[in-house]
Chain A
Amino acid sequence: GDSVTQMEGPVTLSEEAFLTINCTYTATGYPSLFWYVQYPGEGLQLLLKATKADDKGSNKGFEATYRKETTSFHLEKGSVQVSDSAVYFCALSGSQGGSEKLVFGKGTKLTVNP
């Protein structure tokens, strides 16, 4: 079945450091790809998405490019802030029984220190 593998955490960075969180996927067909963020004490929020190969999703300084050849969707940010501390989930969407279904990775906890 469809699956998502993302780099193990936790990741600890200093403010203004460069961030990369790796994500690879296995899927039949051509799924859409997503990054979700979960801030402490809050629900999941969609951070960015890409719906086809070579698309780049971006939001709040984060970006990720849908790479079909490497089945990857790595999350990057050039300069992280303390407020970016959260858990980040990579996900893909598949179709099952006519409904879109999300498959999530295990999550990567990011801590940014001042």
Chain B
Amino acid sequence: EAEVAQSPRYKITEKSQAVAFWCDPISGHATLYWYRQILGQGPELLVQFQDESVVDDSQLPKDRFSAERLKGVDSTLKIQPAELGDSAMYLCASSLVRRASEAFFGQGTRLTVV
């Protein structure tokens, strides 16, 4: 069964360091989402891609976060420099159509900043 792949599953990094997460969506899915899920909270959308273009990054802290999807397939989310408050689960999701409720989620990357 096709699934959204994310790596790494777990990451521990020191504050002020750079960290990156990778996501490989389900083949053929044009829409890709990155969510942040702080412990005890629901997921919050950080950025949404349609193919290689960003269609919504209104909640992305652009001073330290960046996201790219250069060939419209896999995607990387980067944080530089990491802060203690960035500790969270980062979820990637993809959908065939441009509807967030039709998306399939990956297992996530759990980031701990120390």
Contact = CB atoms under 8 A, between A and B. Distances in A.
Contacts of B4: 43
B98 A97 contact: no
A56 to B, nearest CB: 17
A43 B41 contact: no
Interface in A41-84: 41-46, 49
6 closest A-B pairs by beta carbon, nearest first, are A104-B42, A43-B105, A44-B105, A102-B100, A100-B99, A100-B100
B107 interface: yes
Interface of B: 4, 40-45, 48, 55-56, 58, 91, 93, 98-101, 104-108
Contacts of A45: 105
Q: Is the interface of A mostly helix, strand, loop or mixed?
A: strand
A34 B101 contact: yes
B42 A89 contact: yes
A34 B93 CA distance: 16
Contact of A93 (B41, B101, B107): B101
Nearest to B59: A101
B99 A104 contact: no
Contacts of B98: 99-100
A34 B45 CA distance: 16
Given A102-B100, A106-B40, 10 more contacts: A4-B42, A42-B107, A43-B91, A89-B42, A96-B56, A99-B98, A99-B100, A100-B98, A103-B42, A106-B41
